[in-house]
Amino acid sequence: MDEFLSEKEQLEGIRQWWRDNGWHLVGGITLGAAVLVGWNQWTAYEQRQAESAATLYQELRAAAIDDFDNEVADHLERLRINYASTPYADQGGLLMARVYLENNNIQLASDELRYVMERSADAELALVARLRLARVLTYEEAYQEALALLDIDAGMFSGRYNEVRGDIHVALGNPDNARLAYAQALTAGDSEMIDRVLVQMKLDDLPAVISPDPEINP
């Protein structure tokens, strides 16, 4: 403010400024407040959703342990419809797959695993589902399909992926491919991801590569 202006002029200046800018200021604050309120409500809504989903998942778990019936499948259906954006929908799918396997319904188990593998927002959980699906397919003797599923870059899961790949080659009667897969499983990075002792046993169980001619055998 110019110090040579009279008090009245100064006051007039302030009024003028307010007339020019007042609405912008009020508008800005109102918008800020509206966004804030909206944000809070959104997070509160998300939290309520997650809590309800968690509760439903708990119920599913309890029901699955108790006894299998259609009610269990119904729980999962509700999780998928109402709480698709929560991780409980995926976890419910994985759990149902196990329940189906225990009740010898291989087809439905595969469906659940495939659903999680294809739709989960959690990329790592999808890798878990993929591995499980490949194992179920191997049981069904759909070997080529299982191998195709495993044929991706599985990152830190590659040890387990290779182990299952080895198992499939054994079933297919390809000991050389199996040997390669098991060896890769054993060399893959971290040792916590596979049962090294078991993989070594499977490797040692393969028939000899070397010629059966005793003269060449060292």
Partner 1 sequence: MLQGFREGAGRWITIAVLGLIAISFIFWGIDFTTLGTTFAAKVNGQEVSLIDFEREVQNQQSQYQELYRAELTDELRGELRRNVLERLIRQQALLDRIRTSGYQISDDRLTASIRTIPAFQVDGEFSIDLYRSQLLNQGLSPSGFESLQREQLELLELQQGILNSSFYMPNEFRRYLEVFNQRREIAYALFEVDTLLEKIFVNEADIEAHYALNEDLYLSEESVDLQYIEVLGSAIAEEVEYSTETLEAYYEEEKYRFQTEEQRKARHILFANGDDAELEIRAQMALMRIEAGEDFLKLADELSDDVGTNNQGGDLGWLGKGALEGPFEDALFIMEVGDTQGPIKTDFGYHVIRLDDIVFGDVQPFEAAKEELAVDYQNREAEELFYSLATELADLSFAAFDELETVSTQMNLPLKEVSNFKRSENASVFSFSEPVLQAAFSREVLELGENSALVELADDHVLILRVDAHYPSVQQPYEEVRAEIEEELARVQAEAEAFERVTSLTTLLREGGEGQVFTEEQNGNWRETVWVERTTTEIPTEILAASFRLEKPRGTRIFEHVAMTNGDQALLVLSTVEAGQPESVPREQRDQRLAQVAQQTGMYEFSGYASELRETATVRIPEEIFDPAFY
Q: Scanning residues 82 to 141, which ones bind partner 1 (CB under 8 A)? A: 85-87, 91, 94-95, 97-98, 101-102, 121-125, 127-128, 131-132, 135-136, 138-139
Using CB under 8 A as the binding rule, whether residue 201 contacts partner 1 is answered as: yes
Residue selected from 63, 79, 167, 178 as contacting partner 1 according to rule CB under 8 A: 167
Those residues whose C-beta lies under 8 Å from the C-beta of residue 187, and which sit 6 or more positions away, are: none
Closest CA to 196 of 170, 171, 167, 163: 163
C-alpha to C-alpha distance for 110 and 145, rounded to whole angstroms: 12
Q: Is 204 in the site for partner 1 (CB under 8 A)?
A: yes
- Give the interface size with partner 1 as a residue count (CB under 8 A): 72
Residue 44 in the binding site for partner 1 (CB under 8 A): no
Which of 29, 44, 62, 84 is close enough to bind partner 1 by CB under 8 A? 29
Could you say whether residue 159 binds partner 1 (CB under 8 A)?
yes
Determine the length of the chain: 218
Residue span binding partner 1 (CB under 8 A) among the ranges 3-11, 20-28, 74-82, 143-151: 20-28
What sign for the dihedral angle of Cα 100, 106, 107, 113? positive
Q: Whole-number minimum distance, CB 171 to partner 1, in Å?
A: 8
Specify the residue, 50 or 73, whose C-beta has the smaller distance to partner 1. 50
Residue 73 CA: distances (Å) to CA of 87, 110, 132: 17, 14, 20
Please tell me the distance from the alpha carbon of residue 158 to that of residue 152, in angstroms, as a whole number: 9
